[in-house]
Amino acid sequence: MQKYDVVIIGSGLGGLLCGNILSNEGKNICILEKQFQFGGNLQTFKRDGKIFDTGIHYVGGLSPGQNLHQYFKYFGIIDKLKLRKLDENAFDKINFEGKNYSYAQGFDHFVEALANDFPSEKNALKEYKSKIKEICSHFPLYNLRPNLGLDKEKQFYEISVGDFIKSITPNKTLQNILAGNNLLYAGTPNKTPVAIHALITNSLIESAYRFEDGSHQIADLLVESIKNNGGTLMNNSEVKKLELNNGKAESVILSNGEVIEADHFISAIHPALTLEMTDTKLLRKSYRTRISDLEESISVFSIYFSLKPGSFKYLNYNYYHFNEDTVWSIPKYNPEKWPQEYLFLTPPSSKSKEFAETATAMTYMKYDEVKQWENSDKGKRGNDYEEFKKYKAEKLISQIEIQFPGFKASINKYYTSSPLSLKDYTGTRNGSMYGIVHDCNNPLKTQIYPKTKIPNLLLSGQNINFHGVLGVTVASVFTCTEMLGMEYLLEKINNA
């Protein structure tokens, strides 16, 4: 039986990046994926001859000299990606209390643009910029430098984003606008650490890009690089058990009974699911309980629209609309008032710059609303479920029609995704959008490190650091430094 240097569980961005890094470094790796498609949230699907993204719509930090650009350069994919830069003057538009506010790219530009709407708040906006920059400067891997234990990043996991924004300005409207894209991190004002807000917001303000013709291109390029490095990828290979021998992980067992051995293991799936794969006493009960009790972020309902040719203009920005007098929708979530907010966007296609081929709308949905169908297999959930999704879709479409009159007439077909779809395709608990909830009231509880008490088992993926392309990239590098050495790997990345 072949024995690998490293077996990686899960082929989402986290698993693929660990595979890329370790195979670049000469390790003989094997990635095991339970689905047919590799990529987890990077998966796209095709309907009506068109490509639809599921879990990546836009990312930041990809311009030369910025963090994600340098990481992607090291992964060998930066020059091969088909990117489209969002509007420099408005990559996000926040539609709040009937008015549009624009987020511009480049922090000075961002400040100037919002100062046009809030002239008396210019100093507050400048203060916002310098504080966000200050917070981000404390995160070593975000800045591609080694963690020497001197940084003070932990303190920013103890301050809530709500308190932080209130400290910037007493102007309630501006407070809301500064948090206008909090759907990107399922924000809760008195819970979400300011660190999450700062790291994500800063990266997008630096530069914001979409992936032309689908985000699966990232997965395809990473799969290709791993294969070129001699790595193995196995789809339809669900890991069920992790076997230990003499206090070390020895093999994994797949659902078809196949046994795969390795010297090291990286699990890039939800840590609670990883712990369920072994009952070893090396992992203490308190650790298991802490991990399995972690709260999951809220889920989402999405509509994927196939549009009639030449009927709806491509929008080079993301549009966040709010029906309430607050952009913090999660604490006020109310199924009776659904949808309370939505994100609407038109993914770019290489076929046209002027018109959109497809559009996507997303709004929060709690898992409880679809729980009654959770025990049926996908495709067999019956008419009730289909009716429920149709009813919700029509409600959301009517709402979009108010802000984009004529949109409805440009729809050819649409497809919906509920929290159950997300659960089916990514295996996240309760169809959680972004994995675990980070809580500034109990930061230690929600911080998970790559190292475990099983000496040759490391964890990775969105729950280790924070979610999103940037968060998972940093998490993957962090995990791999445990095997390769922090200074060694960062030197390689910086010299790529």
Ligand X SMILES: Cc1cc2nc3c(=O)[nH]c(=O)nc-3n(C[C@H](O)[C@H](O)[C@H](O)COP(=O)(O)OP(=O)(O)OC[C@H]3O[C@@H](n4cnc5c(N)ncnc54)[C@H](O)[C@@H]3O)c2cc1C
The contact set with ligand X (CB under 6 A) reads 9-15, 32-35, 40-41, 55-59, 238-239, 268-269, 273, 300, 422, 426-428, 433-434, 461-462, 467-469, 472
Q: Which residue, 139 or 175, is less far from ligand X as judged by CB? A: 139
CB of 53 vs ligand X, minimal distance in Å: 8
User: Do the strands 239-245 and 248-254 form a parallel or antiparallel pair, or are they unpaired?
Assistant: antiparallel
Q: Which residue, 12 or 193, is less far from ligand X as judged by CB? A: 12
CB of 120 vs ligand X, minimal distance in Å: 33
Residue listed under structure tokens 């470094």: 25
CB of 42 vs ligand X, minimal distance in Å: 6
Tell me how far the alpha carbon of residue 482 is from its chain's centroid. 23
403 CB-side CA count, 13 A: 23
Distance of alpha carbon 288 from alpha carbon 279, whole angstroms: 10
Contact 361, 305 (CB under 8 A): yes
Q: Which residue, 161 or 186, is less far from ligand X as judged by CB? A: 186
| DSSP letter assigned to residue 139 | -
Nearest to 213 by CA among 350, 62, 37, 312: 350
Q: Which residue, 176 or 465, is less far from ligand X as judged by CB? A: 465
CB of 188 vs ligand X, minimal distance in Å: 17
Amino acid at 29: I
Q: Which residue, 125 or 342, is less far from ligand X as judged by CB? A: 342
Q: What are phi and psi of 398, to 5 degrees?
A: -60, -35
350 CB-side CA count, 13 A: 7
The residue at minimum Cβ distance from ligand X is: 12
Distance of alpha carbon 111 from alpha carbon 325, whole angstroms: 23
First to last CA, the chain: 36
Query: Which residues have CB under 8 Å from 479's CB, separation 6+?
Result: 14, 18, 266, 450, 458, 459, 460, 464
CB of 406 vs ligand X, minimal distance in Å: 26
Q: Which residue, 399 or 428, is less far from ligand X as judged by CB? A: 428
CB of 345 vs ligand X, minimal distance in Å: 9
Q: Which residue, 322 or 364, is less far from ligand X as judged by CB? A: 364
Q: Which residue, 32 or 480, is less far from ligand X as judged by CB? A: 32
Amino acid at 58: Y
Residue 379, sorted as left (phi over 0), alpha (psi -120 to 50) or beta, turns out to be left
Q: Which residue, 268 or 291, is less far from ligand X as judged by CB? A: 268
With b for 16 or more beta-carbon neighbours within 10 A and e for fewer, the 312-331 pattern comes to bebbbbbbbbbbeebbbbbe
Q: What share of the chain is helix, strand, coil (3-state, %, to 5)?
A: 40, 25, 40
CB of 206 vs ligand X, minimal distance in Å: 14
Q: Which residue, 303 or 433, is less far from ligand X as judged by CB? A: 433
Q: Which residue, 111 or 342, is less far from ligand X as judged by CB? A: 342
Residue listed under structure tokens 């199924």: 335
CB of 433 vs ligand X, minimal distance in Å: 4
Distance of alpha carbon 191 from alpha carbon 340, whole angstroms: 20
Q: Which helix (H) or strand (E) holds 401?
A: helix 382-403
CB of 112 vs ligand X, minimal distance in Å: 25
Residue listed under structure tokens 């169809």: 431
Q: Which residue, 215 or 399, is less far from ligand X as judged by CB? A: 215
CB of 460 vs ligand X, minimal distance in Å: 7
Q: In what order do the strands lie in the sheet with 208-211?
A: 59-60, 208-211, 83-85
CB of 41 vs ligand X, minimal distance in Å: 3
CB of 37 vs ligand X, minimal distance in Å: 8
Tell me how far the alpha carbon of residue 261 is from its chain's centroid. 30
Query: Which residues have CB under 8 Å from 172's CB, separation 6+?
Result: none
